[in-house]
Structure 1
Amino acid sequence: MRGKLGPILVGLGAFLLVAALLLKVFAYPQLAVAPIDQESVTELTGPGATVFDTGTLSEITTDLTTTANTVGDIEASQEQGDNVRVWVNTSSTRSDDGVVRSRSIERVAFDAHTGEAVDCCGTYAETVEGQPEEVTFEGLVFKFPFGTQKESYDFWDSTLLRAVPIAYVDTEDVEGVETYRFEHVIEPTVTGTMEAPASILGEEAEGNLEAERTYSNTRTLWVEPRTGVILKRAEAQLNTLRYDGEDRVTLTEVTTGYTDETVKANAEEYGSLGNMLHLVNVVLPLVLGVLGLVAIIGGALLLRRRQEPAHA
């Protein structure tokens, strides 16, 4: 039996090394992909928001609730192969009186591993019901890459219709899960113009005047780095009507973010998934690799001793 132990250990070690390699190069890439059949509902709240009420032509204070429903287009994703996902996000924001204050639909294609937008599959954005507009998305839209790093990424802004760099700031605990906190500040930017009654702009003229729409935002994202999923989100937005270089009307001023229930559910689901990915990508390959090397070295030593001539 001792004579056979050396070859057995060498064979076992080789097997363990191959298993470690397969986990890294085969199993992990198969697991670290965005789901093709995504189906999720996310809620955000913005208490004490200021909005411009078109019914009364005045600014009012209200609580805003945003519901975002994200669904994967399985057929479109399958047509693109294993590395592309197509998701459709439908979002609506209501005030506490039940009035829908805004709505939007975004159809986005992105790399299933990196989260980077891909130019294909009839992507569009719709902010006016029944009037979709073709959009070429860029940067990250729904999620960060698997294995998110402590660096800056380009993150899509649905108002500017372009990606804006968002930087790693700190590492923070969210519901017991380690996350990377990313932030960026979008300074007041003119996004378009609109006709508005002179009276609401503070002018004595009759009829309508052309005013500029401005938008600014401070966005903070808490990302579970192993999965790239955004566990928590907060945005401080300000939209105004500007005339003659001055902000005359507040269209929306709100600090909104994921509800506590949404954050907790995200942490439970993706914290566990992140741990599993870490196990497959780091822990098991390391353990199996070390055991494999030890077994090969031990087996080689036994074979060497067996082959050494006996001394008188």
Structure 2
Amino acid sequence: MSATGTRTDSQVGPPGTPGRPLPRGAVMVALGAFLLTLAALLPLYVHDRIALLPAQTRFDVRMVDEDAGYLDTSTWRWVEAAELTRVTRVDGSAHGGDWSAWEVSVDTSVPDRMIDHWSRRVIVDRETGRAVNCCGEHVDGDRAVRQAGLVYSWPPGAEEGDHPFYDAEVRSAPMLEFQEWDEVAGVPVRRYSQWVEASQVPESARPVPAGLFRSGARGTVTATRWLEVSRTFWVEPVSGIVVDAHETRSETLRPQDGGGEVPLLYAELVMADNQVSAYAEQARVRSVLLRALDSWAPWALGPLGGLAVLVGLVGAWRGHRADGAPADREAPARRRGRRRAREPLDPQW
């Protein structure tokens, strides 16, 4: 307050001015541009990253036959109607950005004992699902192997044609042939079949009683294991998840220095029911997600984004006309006022 008692303005600096509002329609244009960008990124980038096989994974596949037969190597007698279980366990870890290193163990057992075990390390390409020759791969300690073909999962969105599938026991990758479309637990799937002809399992030589091949023979002979396999997979194609699997195995022993063979194992293995339902649900959810990213969301977001841009542009155009018309009407009056202000005063006044 001044000495005369008059209140003065205590504000320091220039007086404040109200912020300039955004142009009409700018928000809608920005929203539309965002939706259009998102519609392009979802199928071109996000889908491809989500579709990759997980870098870190842990799962097991349990297959059973309640009426299998096998040769008991503790007594060298054939056992009928045995409950046989074959469990494949996978523990995968990230190996670079595009690969995953799988440590695989396979155990075949009957209720009172383990009858077979072997392990494997394989590097899996997360995009193709195929084996990569790299980084300490081996099959049961054999590091000279060169694994190839699919390891277990199909690449998401793969064509329905044939695919090589690696059988680690015989070290080869016969083709899995597409058979037909099918349905498992309400999920549409493709059925593939593979036939592995009778093949000798590498490094399977072992001493066995000679009497197995020739009645009354004494001592031992060296025999190798031979394997014949028929496999069937039911695969959800969008996600590449194996929903169900069956496998018929026939294993025999054959002497290296003579003819003849004896059965070692026969089993018709099927995946456990609880696993089939779990994998079917997993495949259903994942296929919906991948379809949404690849087609449903872009087809919805693209038109919405285009509409938002159009609405924003129309709003901006209307706002420009509304703001410009009054200014045009007032401009001549302002110009006349400025001219009068510049004219000199009449001397009579």
Range into which the TM-score falls when normalised by the shorter chain:
0.7 to 0.9
- Aligned residue for 1:254, secondary structure, equals strand
Equivalent residue for 1:239, pick from 248, 251, 262: 251
Equivalent residue for 2:299, pick from 273, 286, 294: 286
- Aligned residue for 1:147, secondary structure, equals coil
Question: Aligned partners of 2:102 and 2:219: how far apart in 1?
Answer: 43
Q: Return 5+ residue gaps in structure 1 as ranges.
A: 127-131, 307-312
Question: Aligned partners of 1:300 and 1:152: how far apart in 2?
Answer: 52
**For residue 302 of structure 2, what is the amino acid of its counterpart?**
G
Match of 1:47 in 2: 66
1:155-200 CA-partner distances (Å, limit 9, x unpaired): 0102211211101111211112121111111222233554432211
Structure of larger gyration radius: 2
| Cα RMSD for the two superposed structures | 2.7
Q: Give 1:209 deviation, angstroms.
A: 3.5
Q: Does 1:136 align with 2:149?
A: no
Q: Give 1:260 deviation, angstroms.
A: 0.2
Match of 2:52 in 1: 33
- Aligned residue for 1:271, secondary structure, equals helix
1:196-244 CA-partner distances (Å, limit 9, x unpaired): 3221113554333444532111100111212212111110010112465
Q: Give 1:290 deviation, angstroms.
A: 3.8
**For residue 150 of structure 1, what is the amino acid of its counterpart?**
E
- % of aligned pairs identical? 27
Match of 1:271 in 2: 284
TM-score, reference length from structure 2: 0.75
Q: Does 1:122 align with 2:131?
A: no
Match of 1:19 in 2: 38
**For residue 162 of structure 2, what is the amino acid of its counterpart?**
S
Displaced runs of 4 or more, over 6 A: 7-10, 296-306
Match of 2:233 in 1: 221
**For residue 220 of structure 1, what is the amino acid of its counterpart?**
T
**For residue 142 of structure 2, what is the amino acid of its counterpart?**
E
Q: Which has the higher contact order (CA 8 A, sep 6+)?
A: 1
Q: Does 1:68 align with 2:88?
A: yes
Match of 1:88 in 2: 103
Question: Aligned partners of 2:163 and 2:310: how far apart in 1?
Answer: 44
How is 1:181-200 mapped onto 2 (pairs within 5 angstroms)? 181-191=191-201, 193-200=205-212
Q: Give 1:148 deviation, angstroms.
A: 2.2
Question: Aligned partners of 2:195 and 2:284: how far apart in 1?
Answer: 28
**Count of aligned pairs between the two proteins:** 292
Q: Give 1:305 deviation, angstroms.
A: 11
Q: Give 1:15 deviation, angstroms.
A: 3.5
1:52-107 CA-partner distances (Å, limit 9, x unpaired): 1111112112111122321123xxx2xx42111111122211113x2101112111
Match of 1:309 in 2: none
- Aligned residue for 2:132, secondary structure, equals coil
**For residue 279 of structure 2, what is the amino acid of its counterpart?**
N
Match of 2:161 in 1: 151
Question: Aligned partners of 1:46 and 1:106: how far apart in 2?
Answer: 23
